[in-house]
């Protein structure tokens, strides 16, 4: 069974600084998807970024980028120029492709942003 591990329960960053959130996963599959979801206090789950395992290039979405290390099964999220609105819980998630598509989530990390 696939597992997703987020070992840091909380992190804090100064506004305008950069922060990296860590995630590791375990799978025997060679093809899969990885995600970072943001959950603000409104509890809405918002997709931040998505990575396809067969692509070596790291995904980026504006201030958000990932460091995908397939051999190490590591998938970290970097947030640049942190903003107060970035404060939220962040979940790392894994999904196999195709007919077995369903997400396995890590426990999440609470990110606070200091003004």
Which of 49, 79 has the CB closer to another protein? 49
Question: Encoding tokens for residue 99?
Answer: 């007919």
Contact 11, 21 (CB under 8 A): yes
DSSP string, 46-97: EEEEEEETT--SPPEETTEEEEEETTTTEEEEEE-S--GGG-EEEEEEEE-S
Q: Which of 18, 44, 60, 83 binds another protein (CB under 8 A)?
A: 44
Applying CB under 8 A, among 27, 45, 78, 80 the residue interacting with another protein is 45
End-to-end, the C-alpha distance of the chain in Å comes to 41
Answer for which of 12, 107, 112, 114 binds another protein (CB under 8 A) is: 107
43 or 57: whose CB is closer to another protein? Answer: 43
Least separation in angstroms between residue 94's CB and another protein is 9
- The closest alpha carbon to 90, from 57, 55, 45, 42, belongs to 45
Residue of 15, 29, 47, 61 that binds another protein (CB under 8 A): 47
Positions in the binding site for another protein (CB under 8 A): 4, 6, 32-33, 35, 42-45, 47, 50, 91, 93, 95-99, 101-108
């Amino acid at each position: 069974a696939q597992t997703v591990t987020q070992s840091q329960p909380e992190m804090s960053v100064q506004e305008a600084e950069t922060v990296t959130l860590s995630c590791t996963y375990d799978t025997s599959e060679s093809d899969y998807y990885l995600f970072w979801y943001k959950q603000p206090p409104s509890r809405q789950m918002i997709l931040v970024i998505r990575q396809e395992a067969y692509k070596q290039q790291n995904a980026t979405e504006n201030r958000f980028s990932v460091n995908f290390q397939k051999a190490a099964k590591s998938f970290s999220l970097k947030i640049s120029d942190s903003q107060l609105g970035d404060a939220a819980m962040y979940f790392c998630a894994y999904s196999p492709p195709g007919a077995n598509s369903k997400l396995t989530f890590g426990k999440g990390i609470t990110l606070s942003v200091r003004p």
